[in-house]
Structure 1
Amino acid sequence: MELTAGSVAQIQATQFEFTLPRGLVAPDGTVHRDGIMRLATALDEIEPIKDPRVRANPGYLVVILLARVITRLGGLEHINTRTVENLYAADLAYLQDFYQRINLTGHARFQVQCPHCTQAFEVETAGQGG
């Protein structure tokens, strides 16, 4: 599936497209920015707690969790903890926020208000990389 600038951010009710602010740079120089994240299950949030890396460093929980729910990133065939570890800090922060948004609200939209006319509307942010 190829993502385009005008693509709809929600693929299905459980999967959401995103575009990283910086992108993961592969050893060959390819930058992987477009991806898909699925909604987390209870097991996704419980299972990483058993991991010794999380017991040694609770901050590692987010790395394991994101590796479980990101189903595609650019042309990469497999997403794992090493993939997430190699993301830039800005991309990691973006993905953490994106994860929270889709899992709490079920969508990647923000409710905003026009500063000129004060009309409220929703903005889809998933594909905009921050």
Structure 2
Amino acid sequence: MAEYTLGQVIDKLGRNPNLQFRFVNDEDYYKSLGIIVHLREDGYLANSSNETLTFSLRDKFTLVNEPVDRMTAFKAFEKGKSIYCIYRDIKRTFIPINNTFTGFSIEEILYGKWFIEEGEK
């Protein structure tokens, strides 16, 4: 899983304020590992209780990837992003090659949980 610096988190939140990140540093003992961070409406980073948090430039985060509806995933795939599906506890990744929709099963399309891969290219 890709790790992001505070600067990268701010950049990503600037483009999509609905993203959430998990704090993964083990150096800062006063912060809880695994805390989920989101952007409040007033522009501050906050935890799930909406309490303002401060971070340093050396802090690291991972993206909390939420499932998207299948059409959103397919549109992202069409734009060149890798997507993946989790169905029956099996994760299958689909990498766009010439924007060809091949290899999706009917069960995955109907019942799978779809995600857009957010890793760095």
Which structure shows the higher helix fraction?
Answer: 1
Fold shared per TM-score above 0.5: no
- Larger-gyration structure (1/2): 2
**With structure 2 as the length reference, what TM-score do the two structures score?**
0.30
Please report the TM-score for the alignment, with normalisation by the length of structure 1: 0.28
